[in-house]
Amino acid sequence: MSPHLTDFTPSAVAAGDRVVVFGAGDVAQLTHCALESLGIRVACFVDPLLTGAGTRLRGTEVVATSALAAMDPDSTCLIDAWDHTRYARKSELLARFPRVFLGVRLLREADFDESGAPVAPEERGRRIEHYAAQCAPLLAPTGHLRLRSLDVVVTEACSMRCVDCSNLMQYYAHPRHSDLDELHTSLEQLTAAVDGVDEFRVLGGEPFANPRAGRVIRTLTGFQDSRRVVIYTNGTIVPRGDLMESLVHPRILVKITDYGEHSRRHEELCAELSSRGVTWLSQKPVWTDSGRIGRIERTPQELRRTFSDCCVNDLLTLLNGRLYLCPFSANAMNLGALPAAPQDVIDLRTEWPRNELRARIEALYTRKSPLTACTFCRGRDDTTPTITPAVQVRRPLPLTPVKGRA
């Protein structure tokens, strides 16, 4: 990343400047909205993944990164709003521009209450804080190791069997609930080794399929140094008893994926959560073709791009006592579908000296080289084709375990 990064202020823009937003995701669109509210016109979005002539966002043109070569460095003010992963930032593209900014303060101080603001209101704060967490070490390196998020898997079981599930639930022939004692020990060891986790994400399968998941949720809300605990559910199960009670907490957000007729208890779940005062958000899904395991022949350059542009290459996942860098890697290794790759996983089922564990977590979290799983994954970025979500199959997909697997 360019060494001259600073946080943006409106005084950085002079008359005649060309203001460009680098990125085209949620944070970039929020940045566009915030600039507009200050009377600052955005000339264009520049995105390293989004392609297609005539593409526009919020009425503003989206151009390819090749367009940067024709821009005058002295009159161009670039705001880096690339939100989905720290690794996909293209420092080599921005190095010739003396004014490259991050938009943390701009976004935090913006008023997004007017109609037409992008991103669902319940999601704006999360997106902004995720972006701020990624920007913090770029603006003021501290030596701290704070994780943006941690996926905590409480079960392999799911109440749906989607043929293209990107978390590979369609391959589990004999799904199991997580061992909660093992999970608790793993969480304690991991959180003691880092300087905080901004957000815990409780997943399955379908997390409400595990009736004892409330114990895990209470553990996570007990960590005072996290901002949010998000539970992802498909709207097929309404939790009862202790599991429902565990959701009544100010830092809990229940995110419901609305699959229409498949989310058969969606309305009942929403009503029950509302009656308990639980914060929830329901959204229709957009799926990419990322849910199959199979070796793909790629050149070393293609493999690096698959990893660097992936939208989940920093979603640390805790599954059955082991820590992985992404959910595809976690579930593919858990299923035995990948060759042994000890460098891709940290086993938390045994006790580690704190400093050694911290060093291993940092090495995994800041990794820039492809995972073993990248060779078997179709990729997951803005160029990956979208598909119809939640197409159901009757039986688990066949899977041949790899000899010498992890």
- Going by the DSSP 8-state scheme, the letter that residue 18 receives in this structure is E
pLDDT at 404 over 60: no
pLDDT at site 3: 46
Closest Cα partner for 175 from 308, 59, 350, 331? 331
The per-residue pLDDT for range 34-91, each reduced to its tens digit, is 999 999 999 999 987 665 667 899 999 999 888 999 999 999 999 999 876 554 566 7
Count of C-beta atoms within a 10 Å radius of residue 330: 27
Lowest-pLDDT range, 136-150, 270-284, 387-401?
Answer: 136-150
Classify strands 252-257 and 228-233 as parallel, antiparallel or unpaired. Answer: parallel
Total-model pTM: 0.88
In the chain the domains, ranked by start, together with CATH numbers, are 6-139 (3.40.50.720), 147-387 (3.20.20.70)
Instruction: Find out whether 398 and 173 touch, Cβ atoms under 8 Å.
Output: no
pLDDT band at residue 1 under the 50/70/90 scheme: very low
Do strands 228-233 and 56-57 pair parallel, antiparallel, or not at all (unpaired)? unpaired
Question: Range with the lowest mean pLDDT among 5-14, 36-45, 306-315?
Answer: 306-315
Q: Residue 2: its pLDDT value, please?
A: 46
Beta strands in 141-285 (DSSP E): 147-153, 197-203, 228-233, 252-257, 280-283
Alpha-carbon span 362 to 189, nearest angstrom: 14
| Residue 381 dihedral angles phi and psi, to the nearest 5° | -145, -175
pLDDT in tens, 351-369: 999 999 999 999 999 898 9
CB contact at 8 A, 109 and 52 = no
List, in order, residues 6 or more apart from 245 with CB less than 8 Å away. 214
Higher pLDDT, 94 or 146: 146
- 216 and 189 Cβ atoms separated by less than 8 Å: no
**For residues 237-262, average pLDDT:** 97
Q: Is 384 helix (H, G, I), strand (E, B) or coil?
A: coil
Helix axes 180-193, 354-365, angle to 10 degrees: 90
Neighbours of 111 (CB within 10 A): 9
Share of the chain above pLDDT 90, in %: 75
Distance linking the first and last C-alpha atoms of the chain: 34
Query: What is the mean pLDDT of the segment spanning 332-338?
Result: 96
Cis peptide bond N-terminal to 205, omega within 30: yes
Cα angle, residue 101 at apex, residues 97 and 107 outer, rounded to 5°: 155
